[in-house]
A and B are shown apart, each in its own frame.
Chain A
Amino acid sequence: GQQVMQIPQYQHVQEGEDFTTYCNSSTTLSNIQWYKQRPGGHPVFLIQLVKSGEVKKQKRLTFQFGEAKKNSSLHITATQTTDVGTYFCAVQGGSEKLVFGKGTKLTVNP
């Protein structure tokens, strides 16, 4: 079945540093979604990317979809303590299911 590799598994940064997490697939993806889960919370949808080479921004967050639609990244500029949490990518695993990456847990030292 569809799988997606997400790296790194953990990332510790100082407040103000940048952060990037990557998702990679061996097959071409129809789309990719990104979710954020705060500590003790539930995953919350951030964005969906559909087009090859697509770049979307949400304030300090920049999402990219690769030209070949096999990889994606989430970049946070100048992290803040409010950015802590686990970031997941999710891809279509067959026609009905979402397959989630294992997530990147971000901690930010103030």
Chain B
Amino acid sequence: DAGITQSPRYKITETGRQVTLMCHQTWSHSYMFWYRQDLGHGLRLIYYSAAADITDKGEVPDGYVVSRSKTENFPLTLESATRSQTSVYFCASRGRVADTQYFGPGTRLTVL
């Protein structure tokens, strides 16, 4: 399913570097989300967006920045990566509030 894609799929970086994870969806969904998944913590919401130019914090926003200038793109930036941000990052999108949420394939990020 190519409706929602993430890039890169794998990334290794060093502490202190800036990293941007990309997310693109082709459905024109209003809502987009970023989650991180770590063992024992399930899926934790980092940021979400209800529409272009509207973003809001989730459960664990510290150290992350998002933007949404276009409906189809929702990049996530780690301004100064830390080892604790080593994780698998999933982007997701949804059309309306109670609709199915579709997840991208994920980005596995390692911060050395």
CB neighbours of A45 from chain B (8 A): 100-102
CB neighbours of B48 from chain A (8 A): 96-97
Contact (A100, B31) CB under 8 Å given A42-B103, A42-B104, A42-B106: no
A1 to chain B, nearest CB (A): 8
The CA of A99 and the CA of B104, in the complex, are separated in Å by: 17
CB neighbours of B97 from chain A (8 A): 92, 95-96
- B58 interface residue per 8 A CB criterion: yes
Whether the Cβ atoms of A88 and B103 lie closer than 8 Å is: no
Dominant secondary structure at the B interface? strand
Whether the Cβ atoms of B104 and A88 lie closer than 8 Å is: no
CB neighbours of A88 from chain B (8 A): 42-43
- B23 interface residue per 8 A CB criterion: no
- B45 interface residue per 8 A CB criterion: yes
A interface vs B, CB < 8 Å?
30-31, 33, 35, 41-45, 48, 88, 90, 92, 95-103
* A–B pairs, 20, beta carbons within 8 Å: A30-B98, A33-B100, A41-B105, A43-B90, A44-B103, A45-B101, A88-B42, A88-B43, A90-B101, A95-B97, A96-B48, A96-B97, A97-B45, A97-B48, A97-B58, A98-B33, A98-B94, A98-B101, A99-B45, A102-B40
